[in-house]
Amino acid sequence: MASYSLIIDGRNVATTETTDILNPATMELVGKAPVATKADLDAAVAAADRAFQSWSRESDDRRKQACLDMAKVLEDNMGELSRLLTMEQGKPLEGMGSGFELGACMAWAGAQASFELPVKVIEDSEAQRIELHRKPLGVVASITPWNWPLMIAIWHIVPAIRTGNTVVLKPSPYTPLSTLRMVEILNAVLPAGVLNVVSGTDELGQWMTEHDAIKKVVFTGSCGTGKKVMQSAAGNLKRLTLELGGNDAAIVLPDTDVGKMAEKIFGGAFINSGQTCAAIKRLYVHDSIYDEMCATLTKIAEATPVGNGLEQGILMGPIQNKMQYDKVVGLVEDAKANGARILTGGEPMEGPGYFYPLTLVADISDGTRLVDEEQFGPVLPIIRYSDVEEVLERANNSEFGLSGSVWSSDLDKAAELAKRLECGTSWVNVHAAIAPNVPMGGVKSSGMGVEFGEEGLAEYTDIHVISIDKT
Ligand code: NDP
């Protein structure tokens, strides 16, 4: 079995304590993850701080090249990383699984090289010249979740490095191994100390967010933890980017072609077995096409193979961990107790592993936990509506505001409604369609700041104004 270590200052660092990481499909041991001490974290932060002194002064071209080099080594090691990702996270190798995630890692890493944050000349007159520069912040802490461990890590670390910062990354304790290995691989093309990784138990995240030498935290995870991060980052006013959960509504208008759109709606809801922040979590379907949509989605769900992601033909894996599995079971049981109708699934599957079938729940409405809370699993509530204005109000009646979508044969009408959704991104006739050059961020309790594109890059900088009096 491969061994895994922390990466500090370009070197592998072993720890005395380790934790067992189990495959959520088989409950077999995948590997042992190192448990970092406070001293290990301090060493990683000190290494990042030292590396910052030179990395922040490197030319833009050198840092662009580093992004391209990172994309290339990910490509060279794609086979190993995707297999490890499947074993510890559960997602299949095929479909929108590990291969897809690694592909996204490469695309996002490479794309950072194409963005520019040029010096902006605000005024250049006879009297004065005023320029706006962007400066890196220093050591950035990246704290990542277990649903898309590698892709989200790349989303955090590559723009940070591109803008001249250095990084200490902490993966989720559920899925640390693939991240540890990925950082080891990336270190082959980066100067020592630019990218460090520490894994560990619960105190580690708190230590990082409180650490005085860390200047920014980029965090993806739950809303509750995001609020804690914000509190403990206040000590030295760390910059924050928080990408917290969502409860995305999709509104299907009566003129929607169900046959044409159902596959896309299914994909938008069940991507990564629903364990995706910007997945469809509430599907509002007009009364006139409700039964047809329920029947079509049921057919698609029942034809989608769920199982061990290492096996050929599997398109959906297990739920990643017991905490999330219990949450999903609890939400479906609550829906049943409140009179909802299970169209397919609805009972845990046999065998080892946290398998839950793709589940569609009809005759359910707002006010039920499955609709009001983020399920983050393979379960979709389908809610009937008859009045468009009223359904818009219900869609917006949520503490979350990550994204949403409107579905219709009339693109202009759908776009008008999409503009009235209270969220960071509204899609028309598609959902969760993200791209490296399109900024994405949540409103309300779904977070603050944005990722991707030049706007995302700017989040890893402070502005610095140079004002020259020419008189
Ligand atoms: P958390 O938000 O608790 O964990 C995400 C990351 O934050 C982990 O690396 C975790 O590591 C770390 N963390 C936890 N507490 C702190 C803290 N006080 N300071 C700094 N870092 C901390 O998510 P969970 O894994 O517990 O999942 C809970 C729910 O979050 C899910 O049910 C789902 O609804 C949602 N979620 C949303 C995601 C998204 O993409 N937006 C991704 C994953 C989950 P550690 O536990 O070691 O501290």
Task: Summarize the confidence of residues 368-395 as an average pLDDT.
Answer: 98
Task: Kindly report the average pLDDT of the chain as a whole number.
Answer: 98
Tokens 């379907």 sit on residue: 285
Q: How far is 13 from 10, CA to CA, in rounded Å?
A: 9
Q: What is the pTM of this model?
A: 0.97
pLDDT for 56-105, tens place per residue? 999 999 999 999 999 999 999 999 999 999 999 999 999 999 999 999 99
pLDDT at 350: 86
CA distance 23 to 260: 36
Q: What is the pLDDT of residues 271-324, one digit of tens each?
A: 999 999 999 999 999 999 999 999 999 999 999 999 999 999 999 999 999 999
| Confidence check: pLDDT of 197 > 80 | yes
Q: Give helix 177-187 / helix 60-76 axis angle, nearest 10°.
A: 130
Q: Could you tell me the residue ranges of all domains in the chain?
A: 6-244+444-469, 248-428
* Nearest in space to 218 (alpha carbons), one of 463, 454, 452: 452
pLDDT at 3: 87
Q: Which residues contact 401 (CB under 8 A, 6 or more apart)?
A: 246, 422, 423, 424, 442, 443, 444, 445, 446
* Catalytic residue chosen out of the listed positions 184, 243, 374, 451: 243
Ligand 1 pocket mutation pick from 222, 324, 325, 402 by most atoms within 8 angstroms of CB? 222
Q: What is the pLDDT of residue 320?
A: 98
Q: What is the pLDDT of residue 351?
A: 78
- pLDDT of the residue at 274: 98
Nearest atom in ligand 1 to the alpha carbon of residue 246 is: 41
φ, ψ of residue 435 to 5 degrees: the values are -150, 150
Confirm or reject: Cβ of 147 under 6 Å from ligand 1. yes
Q: Which CATH fold would you assign to the domain 6-244+444-469?
A: Aldehyde Dehydrogenase; Chain A, domain 1 (3.40.605)
Q: Which residue, judged by its Cα, is nearest atom 21 of ligand 1?
A: 205
Per the annotation, the verdict on 277 as an active-site residue is yes
Active site residue 459: no
Return the pLDDT at 405. Answer: 98
226 Cα–ligand 1 center, Å: 8
CA 456 / ligand 1 centre spacing (Å) = 21
Q: What is the pLDDT of residue 431?
A: 98
CA atoms within 13 A on the CB side of 406: 27
The residue with tokens 């100067």 is 191
Class of the CATH domain delimited by 248-428: alpha beta
152 Cα to the center of ligand 1, angstroms: 13
223 sits in which H/E element: helix 223-232
pLDDT(444) > 80: yes
Provide CB contacts within 8 A for 387, sequence distance 6+: none
User: Looking at ligand 1, which residue's alpha carbon is closest to its atom 46?
Assistant: 202
User: Looking at ligand 1, which residue's alpha carbon is closest to its atom 11?
Assistant: 172
φ, ψ of residue 458 to 5 degrees: the values are -60, -25
Candidate of 89, 151, 172 to mutate for ligand 1, largest count of ligand atoms within 8 Å of Cβ? 172
pLDDT of 1 > 90? The answer is: no
Q: Which residues contact 7 (CB under 8 A, 6 or more apart)?
A: 13, 180, 183, 184, 187, 195, 196, 197
Asked if 247 contacts 423 with a C-beta cutoff of 8 angstroms, the reply is no
Q: What is the mean pLDDT of residues 438-449?
A: 97
- Read off the pLDDT of each residue in 201-229 and give the average, rounded to a whole number: 97
Mean pLDDT of 438-467: 98
Q: Return the C-alpha torsion angle 224, 227, 228, 233, nearest 10.
A: 160
- Dist CA 471 CA 220 (whole Å): 49
The CA angle 376-381-387, to the nearest 5 degrees, is: 130
| Sequence-ordered list of residues with C-beta below 8 angstroms from that of 409, at least 6 positions apart, any chain | 255, 256, 257
213 pLDDT above the threshold of 90 = yes
Inter-CA distances, 235 with 76, 210, 315, 447, Å: 41, 7, 45, 20
Which ligand 1 atom is the nearest neighbour of the CA of 146? 43
Q: Is the pLDDT of residue 178 over 90?
A: yes
Report the C-alpha gap between 14 and 5 in whole angstroms.
5
